[in-house]
């Protein structure tokens, strides 16, 4: 009898426990369910910082990618025409210069210090752009004028093209090393790297570099 009495409450206790554990399970289940929806919005969250960092990188890239197109004018009685595209790169300003209707051979090319091509002989563009007061040199030389672009080789068809990077130059408005507000000059003769400006003779082409 005692055993029966003791068994009865033992049967009740587990059933009570199971009821309470069911309640706990429901309570816990509901709390888990409420927790899970909170966790799922967190799942896409790691993508958000990724988007933010790539959004941050974009302005930097576009800032470093300033680009200016320059049209060349014929000077000193030449019939030269041409254009240049200047692009900021991590290394400096890349200058892509194309000319037409020039005499075959090499012609010195430089960035000069004044963005003024009004003089018939291009003299209004002033001297070489040389903000660090270095000696003149060809692009293979270091140091050199910031505006030293070397030579452009013109073929028998009168056309020539060069692509050269001016390390340390930029296209920012008002920066001491900026090519903006300067001029590209193409000379009648080859730049031989000699002092003070390469013995390249007269100026047959001039293009003003303006902020885009």
Residues that bind Cu ion (CB under 5 A): 110, 185
CB of 145 to Cu ion, least distance (A): 9
CB of 127 to Cu ion, least distance (A): 8
Query: Looking at beta carbons only, is 66 or 148 nearer to Cu ion?
Result: 148
Query: Looking at beta carbons only, is 88 or 113 nearer to Cu ion?
Result: 113
Query: Looking at beta carbons only, is 152 or 185 nearer to Cu ion?
Result: 185
Counting every residue written for the chain, the total comes to: 212
Nearest to 68 by CA among 15, 12, 111, 31: 111
Query: Looking at beta carbons only, is 66 or 128 nearer to Cu ion?
Result: 128
CB of 75 to Cu ion, least distance (A): 11
How far is it, in rounded angstroms, from Cα 31 to Cα 19?
Answer: 18
Question: Residue 140 class from Cβ within 10 Å (0-12 exposed, 13-18 middle, 19+ buried)?
Answer: exposed
Position closest to Cu ion via CB: 110
Query: Looking at beta carbons only, is 68 or 184 nearer to Cu ion?
Result: 184
Peptide bond into 143 cis (omega under 30): yes
Strands 67-74 and 81-88: antiparallel
- Helix segments in 43-140, DSSP class H: 47-64
Contact 164, 91 (CB under 8 A): no
CB of 182 to Cu ion, least distance (A): 11
Query: Looking at beta carbons only, is 110 or 144 nearer to Cu ion?
Result: 110
| DSSP per-residue codes, 19-47 | HHHHHHHHHHHHHHHHHHHHHHHHTTTTH
Nearest to 84 by CA among 124, 115, 58, 123: 115
CB of 202 to Cu ion, least distance (A): 10
CB of 58 to Cu ion, least distance (A): 37
């Amino acid at each position: 009898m005692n055993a029966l009495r003791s068994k009865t409450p033992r049967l009740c206790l587990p059933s009570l426990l199971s009821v309470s554990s069911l309640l706990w399970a429901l309570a816990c289940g509901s709390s888990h369910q409420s927790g899970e929806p909170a966790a799922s919005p967190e799942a896409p969250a790691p993508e958000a910082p990724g988007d933010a960092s790539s959004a941050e990188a974009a302005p930097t890239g576009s800032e470093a990618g300033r680009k200016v197109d320059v049209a060349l004018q014929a000077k000193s009685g030449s019939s030269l025409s041409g254009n240049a595209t200047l692009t900021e790169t991590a290394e400096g300003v890349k200058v892509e210069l194309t000319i037409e209707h020039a005499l075959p051979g090499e012609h010195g090319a430089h960035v000069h210090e004044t963005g003024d091509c009004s003089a018939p002989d291009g003299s209004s563009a002033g001297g070489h752009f040389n903000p660090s007061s270095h000696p003149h040199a060809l692009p293979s030389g270091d140091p050199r004028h910031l505006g030293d672009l070397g030579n452009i080789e013109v073929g028998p068809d009168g056309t020539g093209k060069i692509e050269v990077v001016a390390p340390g130059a930029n296209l920012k408005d008002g920066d001491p090393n900026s090519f903006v507000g300067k001029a590209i000059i193409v000379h009648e003769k080859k730049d031989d790297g000699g002092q003070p400006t390469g013995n390249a003779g007269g100026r047959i082409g001039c293009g003003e570099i303006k902020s885009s």
